[in-house]
Each structure stands twice: as C-alpha cells, then as structure tokens.
Amino acid sequence: MDDKHNKIFSFFSFFNKEFNSRNCIVDIFPDRFSFHPRSSNIKKHIENLEETMLRASFDTFSSIVMLDASIMNQVATSISHIHSFNKPIIKTLYKAINITTAKAELFAICCDINQVVTNHNIKHIMVITDSLHIARRIFNSSTYPYQIHSAAILLELREFFSKDSQNHIKFWDCHSKQQLL
C-alpha cells in the first residue's frame, strides 16, 4: 500500500498556528456559522426551512446550496444546485468510483461553498444537505480521513468571514427521503 496518502497533513498538526487555541476558525468566527439539525417535530423543522429559504430566495446577498450524494454499483454520484436571488446559478453533477458517500458529500459541500464565496456580493450562504454530520467535519480540526477537503474550504471560509462582519453560513439538515406525513 502506498503510505504517502495515509499521513497527517501538516496543516492539521496541532503545532501549526492555524489550529492553535484562539486561531481556529471555530474560535475566531464562532457566531458566523450555524447548524440546524432535524428536530423531533419534522413538520415544524420543514416549515422553518421553507420560511428561511423563501427569505433567502429574494435576498440579493444570499445564496442557497442544495446537495445530495448516493452510491450505486460502487459509483458515488453527488448533485448540487446553487441558487441566488431566486435564480439557478450552477447545477453540478459529480461522479466518482470506489469512494464513500461521506467523501462524495464532503467534496460536494466544499466545492459548492468554494463556488459561492468567490461571488463578492454574497454575504449569506444557506447549505441544505442530508449529511449535516459531514458538514460539521469542515470545522473539525482533529484527524480524520477526509481532512484535505476540510483544509481547503477552511481557508476559503476564513477569507469569506474576514471580508465582512455580516457574512455567515447556515447548514440545514433536510433528509432527501423525508416524509411530512
């Protein structure tokens, strides 16, 4: 087995200044990102999500990212839609062989956030995913297999949050097979 792909990357070393206490993105910008998990009252959660999406749809400074990933016959497929000011901006389809759904989902989240933060008018990002537990890993500095994707997006988010004190990102959990009844 090729061991060069199984090492801890230097930017995840706790001796690196990016991950020292008070330098992590979770320490510097703790109020700039939030997670909205499904509650026990699914109907209320969906109502809140729909209300938030409706407001974001008509806000010129907001962007909505919706994504989902699945695996069939060892092929991971991830599809995402990015909308801004009630107009579709980008629709992306990613396919990869022999990877986990978690890795496909994290890759899609990172790519989509990266695409949104390059738009200088966007201040509010809303990410809707059925893998909120994967999205939380973006802000996790501990060692885990997909840390390279997190490192790349953390640099983008640091710059995004630093540009304007109003910039924020919200992650909403919405299971793709969720039933309201």
Question: Given a cut of 90, is residue 172 above it in pLDDT?
Answer: yes
pLDDT digits (tens, 9 = 90+) for 50-66: 999 999 988 999 999 99
Domain residue ranges of the chain, discontinuous segments joined by +:
14-173
Residue that wins the pLDDT comparison between 123 and 148 = 123
pLDDT of residue 72: 86
Question: Given a cut of 60, is residue 120 above it in pLDDT?
Answer: yes
Question: Given a cut of 80, is residue 126 above it in pLDDT?
Answer: yes
Question: Given a cut of 60, is residue 176 above it in pLDDT?
Answer: yes
pLDDT digits (tens, 9 = 90+) for 65-111: 998 888 888 888 888 888 887 788 888 888 888 888 888 888 888 88
Return the amino acid letter for 123. K
Question: Given a cut of 50, is residue 32 above it in pLDDT?
Answer: yes
Q: Give the DSSP letter string of the chain.
A: --GGGSSPPGGGSTTSGGGSTTTSHHHHSTTSEEEE---S-HHHHHHHHHHHHHHHHT-TTEEEEEEEEEEETTEEEEEEEEEETTEEEEEEEEEEES--HHHHHHHHHHHHHHHHHTSTT--EEEEEES-HHHHHGGG--S--TTHHHHHHHHHHHHHHHHH-TT-EEEEEE--TT----
Instruction: Please name the fold of domain 14-173.
Output: Nucleotidyltransferase; domain 5 (3.30.420)
